[in-house]
Chains A and B, each alone.
Chain A
Amino acid sequence: MMDFVNFHLIPGVVLGSIYALGAIGVTLTFGILRFANFAHGETMTLGAYLTLTLVLLTGWHALLFLPVALALTALLVLAMDRMFFRPLRHAPSIILVIASFGLMLMVRSLVQVIWGTELQGFSKGITLPWVLFDSLRVFPKHVVILTAAIALMVAVHVLLRHTRTGKAMRAMSDSPELARLTGIDTERVVRATWIVGAGLAAAAGIFLAYDSHVETLMGFKMLLPVFASALLGGLGRPYGAMAGGLVIGVVEELSTYAWIGSEPLLPPGYKAGVAFAIMVAILIWRPSGLFRGRVF
């Protein structure tokens, strides 16, 4: 029983909150810029590598650099928007998708050239968990990740509900034409979208790296579960993305628990397929997501 909590439930919730952060960015980009951003995974990778660089330069704890890394990543993503997506702002969305795909490959290669493909970590050695009640093993890093992820999600909630920018973002996601007619500065909203999406993606990358390690394909491998999370929650819906992320993360981890007998229900090697299966099922039976009909 404790194995279930220690090795499936807790890692599932942690992974789920990381997916949720990534999925918010995907869903916002889709809602406001109207395309699926393939370069989103690379944004996560960038956040992790920028943090790694700061850690290697100073020797301080990785999470101290969270705000700096988020800001730097957001700046880089704004620059990428300026160079690649702005000239294509009114192009059909398929062109934007392909452009984001190209950008993904370029960013990944740049990361590989600059930082190398060797697996690296924020800290050397291993960290041991707190053992509660003789059997519950809680890692300090998991507590930190969960707390920070929840704080970031609350911040997104406040931004969307209670600020002018947030309201403008929601308006534009509802109807870009109407938003423009009411005098909303759409370019400003686009910038805000990139900043929020990139910041959260960077946080997701940093948390994932903090939990395990940094490598150049980490963001790309997160892309599928993150897309699946966004779809599950209904594209364009940040709250749906949060819930979707959590569900995908938990289901991925729980799928390998020995529910029947002593063998894992699903061989762990197929864990990556779970998100994909959920995504296909959602697209067939519930293309508007779990929370059909409720936008924001």
Chain B
Amino acid sequence: MKYGKLLGAAAALLAAGSTVALAADVKVGSAAGITGPIEGLVPPILAGRDLAAAHVNEQGGILGGGTYVLVPGDSQCNPKAAVDAGTKLVNVEQVVAVIGPSCSGATNGMVQSVNIPAGVVTLSDSATAPMISFLEDNDLVFRAAPSDGYQSSALAQHVWDQGLRKIAVTYANDDYNAGLGEAFVAAFEHIGGTIAGKQAHEPDRQSYRSELATLAGGGAEALAVFAYYGGSGITILRNSLENALFDQFLGADGMMDNSVIEQLGADTLRGKITLSQPAPQAEGDSGPGESYTAFAEAFKAAGHDPEAPYVAHGYDVAFLMALAIEKAGAADRSKISAALREVANAPGMVIRPGEWAKAREAIAAGEDVNYEGASGDIEFDENGDVAGATYSFNGVGDDGTWTPMQ
């Protein structure tokens, strides 16, 4: 830790020294679970971040014409790998700040071991575990994704409205899934539901038959699976269905990948599973907001699907970080935290996705800006969190992909 601090201090000095040179490249770490249990979800999110960087660079660049460079780091959705990736980004690549990493456990590991000691701001686009709010972070950890406290309540309410009263819960033993699982149990019991068995499981096992047999003994109507699809999610669904232990499932965004449907078959799953994910929506409930539309059109034009999980958040964190650096006026690690709050929170001139040139002029003129993101308004509270989103509930659609259900 001490070593990290020293390096961090040295890095800060170096960074301060380098601002003398005008129009230099500005490097920001872009950590994500490029390999690992959610590697199928990550490429679209990275495409979102890259689109934001492209917008910045096309519209005049950052800090007086410099190139905004996202340096990739593979956090593997794993705290240990995330520490390695963070060390490389912060100490070797000397990035100004870090966006990402993807998973809550990876985020927790990286910020505690590397980023916080080095005084580097971390802005995650998809770390949602409630515990991230309460880190001792010297105001260095932010996220554009809402805490899972909201998601689990929304999911609990949704399945209650669908008529489920007795649910068994299994969650993978990591920060994201355990946080979500515990929050779901609390929320469902609060509404009046019964939890007929709750179990943490180790991810990556070859089978979960005995675990599931025990859970099924509780007589639940459905099984809530909080897991990454590639870690244990698919195996749990398969074991449950093959052994006729459960035939109704619910889960969250960590399961929302098409490989779940590909591996198990659309017809097998149709009508049996409900997955929640934050619905991109900015202003009110009257359909997608102006910011989301601006992002979605640009993202579609680039050949990607704007409805994929967390892509809007990916765009937002990359764009916000560029705004914060521009606002700070220098690639100076120590100024990013305050600047991030200023550019994200009201009041100020509203900036929407793609409006880099407008933002740059406003900042140059000393005006306050307020970024209204594709994923939501993004107003950071004292924990560096954003307010709860609205959630969509997805099942297997007629075309064999995840489709929002009513």
Taking Cβ atoms with an 8 Å cutoff, the residues of A that contact B are 3, 6-8, 11, 112, 117-121, 124-129, 137, 139, 208, 211-213, 215, 217-218, 221, 253, 256-258, 262-264, 267-269, 271-272
Taking the closest CB of chain A, its distance from the CB of B262, in whole angstroms, is: 7
Of all A-B residue pairs in the complex, the 3 with the closest CB atoms, nearest first, are A7-B213, A125-B265, A268-B211
Q: Cβ of B217 < 8 Å from any Cβ of A?
A: yes
One of A211, A215, A253 near B210 (C-beta < 8 A): A253
One of B173, B242, B268 near A269 (C-beta < 8 A): B173
One of A3, A217, A218 near B217 (C-beta < 8 A): A3
> Are B238 and A126 in contact, with the CB atoms below 8 A?
yes
Q: In the assembled complex, which residues on chain A have CB atoms less than 8 Å from the CB atom of B242?
A: 126-129, 139
24 contacts between A and B (CB under 8 A): A3-B217, A7-B209, A7-B210, A117-B35, A118-B230, A119-B230, A119-B263, A121-B263, A124-B262, A126-B242, A126-B265, A129-B243, A137-B244, A208-B206, A212-B235, A213-B263, A221-B204, A268-B202, A268-B208, A268-B214, A269-B200, A269-B201, A269-B202, A271-B202
If the complex has contacts A126-B268, A268-B210, are A119 and B217 also in contact, measured as CB distance less than 8 A?
A: no
Q: Once A and B bind, how many residue pairs between them come within 8 Å at the CB atom?
A: 96
If the complex has contacts A118-B230, A262-B217, are A211 and B206 also in contact, measured as CB distance less than 8 A?
A: yes
> Are A257 and B206 in contact, with the CB atoms below 8 A?
no
B contacts with A, residue count (CB < 8 A): 35
Q: In the assembled complex, which residues on chain B have CB atoms less than 8 Å from the CB atom of A263?
A: 214
If the complex has contacts A137-B243, A211-B206, are A256 and B262 also in contact, measured as CB distance less than 8 A?
A: no
Per-residue A-contact encoding for B201-236, CB less than 8 Å = 1, 0 else? 110111111111110010000000000001000110
Taking the closest CB of chain A, its distance from the CB of B90, in whole angstroms, is: 25
Q: In the assembled complex, which residues on chain A have CB atoms less than 8 Å from the CB atom of B35?
A: 112, 117
Q: In the assembled complex, which residues on chain A have CB atoms less than 8 Å from the CB atom of B138?
A: none
Q: In the assembled complex, which residues on chain B have CB atoms less than 8 Å from the CB atom of A272?
A: 202, 205
> Are A118 and B259 in contact, with the CB atoms below 8 A?
yes
Taking the closest CB of chain B, its distance from the CB of A19, in whole angstroms, is: 11
Taking the closest CB of chain B, its distance from the CB of A123, in whole angstroms, is: 10
A7 nearest in chain B by CB position: B213
Taking the closest CB of chain B, its distance from the CB of A61, in whole angstroms, is: 17
Q: Cβ of B66 < 8 Å from any Cβ of A?
A: no
In Å, the complex CA distance between A125 and B270 comes to 12
Taking Cβ atoms with an 8 Å cutoff, the residues of B that contact A are 35-36, 39-40, 173, 199-202, 204-214, 217, 230, 234-235, 238, 241-244, 259, 262-265, 268
In Å, the complex CA distance between A213 and B214 comes to 22
Taking the closest CB of chain A, its distance from the CB of B123, in whole angstroms, is: 26
Q: In the assembled complex, which residues on chain B have CB atoms less than 8 Å from the CB atom of A257?
A: 210
B209 nearest in chain A by CB position: A7
If the complex has contacts A11-B207, A11-B209, A268-B201, are A119 and B241 also in contact, measured as CB distance less than 8 A?
A: no
Taking the closest CB of chain A, its distance from the CB of B41, in whole angstroms, is: 11
In Å, the complex CA distance between A112 and B35 comes to 10
Taking the closest CB of chain B, its distance from the CB of A257, in whole angstroms, is: 7
If the complex has contacts A211-B207, A256-B214, are A125 and B264 also in contact, measured as CB distance less than 8 A?
A: yes
In Å, the complex CA distance between A262 and B213 comes to 11
In Å, the complex CA distance between A7 and B175 comes to 29
B35 nearest in chain A by CB position: A117
Taking the closest CB of chain B, its distance from the CB of A112, in whole angstroms, is: 8
One of B234, B243, B265 near A119 (C-beta < 8 A): B234
In Å, the complex CA distance between A53 and B326 comes to 50
Taking the closest CB of chain A, its distance from the CB of B178, in whole angstroms, is: 11
Taking the closest CB of chain B, its distance from the CB of A22, in whole angstroms, is: 13
Q: In the assembled complex, which residues on chain A have CB atoms less than 8 Å from the CB atom of B211?
A: 256, 264, 268
If the complex has contacts A124-B262, A269-B173, are A213 and B235 also in contact, measured as CB distance less than 8 A?
A: yes
Q: In the assembled complex, which residues on chain B have CB atoms less than 8 Å from the CB atom of A267?
A: 199-200
Taking the closest CB of chain B, its distance from the CB of A265, in whole angstroms, is: 10
Q: In the assembled complex, which residues on chain B have CB atoms less than 8 Å from the CB atom of A6?
A: 213, 243
